[in-house]
Amino acid sequence: MISERQYLRFPIKNEFALDAPLQAVLEQWKKLVTSGPPRPIDLICSKPADSVIFTDGFTPDPRSSEKLPDRVGAVIFDRRRRTPVQFTAVIPESVKRRWLQRTTQIVPVEMMAAVLAFETFADQIRGADVILLIDSEAVEGALVKGCSSREDLCQVISILWDLA
């Protein structure tokens, strides 16, 4: 969101307006800067990650007749455990009602998979070096950047970074 506006060469309409998504991003950045715990970044040597988490989401293809519920899942491989741990869950309608209307809801579904993985595996990943592998490049980009041009996604991204 911030970088998109930074590199916008020819603003059209109100690209520089302080709209809800930009305000959410700025509030999240302020929260992370003022209250985020300091963490060392050790660049002296590399080491294997303690855990690797794979996430995925499913939503029915609007071009097909399938009516299965939106679902998410994740699996964690932790070097400190003998076996992987996984979960799957249906996205509740009460959560989906908060999302903006789209042709397909795969982006927020995939994003919820990452959030639920952080929450589900919180005790295992606290203080650990973790690699998070996400099935969606759009979701990966939004989570790495910490923002989206869509207000509902900004809210989910903020939840993920609060958990992180």
Which of 55, 47, 46 minimizes the C-alpha distance to 76? 55
Q: Is residue 29 part of a domain?
A: no
Q: Is residue 95 part of a domain?
A: yes
Q: Is residue 73 part of a domain?
A: yes
Question: Looking at residue 134, what is its pLDDT?
Answer: 93
What pTM did the predictor assign? Answer: 0.75
Residue with tokens 């809800």, as numbered in its chain = 20
Q: Is residue 65 part of a domain?
A: yes
Question: Looking at residue 3, what is its pLDDT?
Answer: 56
Which range marks the domain in which residue 142 is found? 48-163
Q: Is residue 124 part of a domain?
A: yes
Q: What is the pLDDT of residues 109-145, one digit of tens each?
A: 999 999 999 999 999 999 888 999 998 998 998 888 8
Question: Looking at residue 50, what is its pLDDT?
Answer: 92
In angstroms, the CA 91 to CA 111 distance is: 11
Low-confidence ranges of the chain (pLDDT < 50): none
Question: Looking at residue 130, what is its pLDDT?
Answer: 92
Q: Is residue 16 part of a domain?
A: no
Number of folded domains that form the chain: 1
In angstroms, the CA 131 to CA 48 distance is: 10
Q: Is the backbone of residue 146 left (phi > 0), alpha (psi -120 to 50) or beta? A: left
Question: Looking at residue 164, what is its pLDDT?
Answer: 84
CATH code where residue 79 lies = 3.30.420.10
Question: Looking at residue 152, what is its pLDDT?
Answer: 86
Question: Looking at residue 147, what is its pLDDT?
Answer: 77
Q: Which of 72-96 are b and which e, b meaning 16 or more Cβ less than 10 Å from the residue's Cβ?
A: bbbbbbbeeeeeeeeeeeebeeeee
Question: Looking at residue 78, what is its pLDDT?
Answer: 95
Q: Is residue 142 part of a domain?
A: yes
Quick check: 118 and 164 in contact, CB under 8 A?
yes
Q: Is residue 14 part of a domain?
A: no
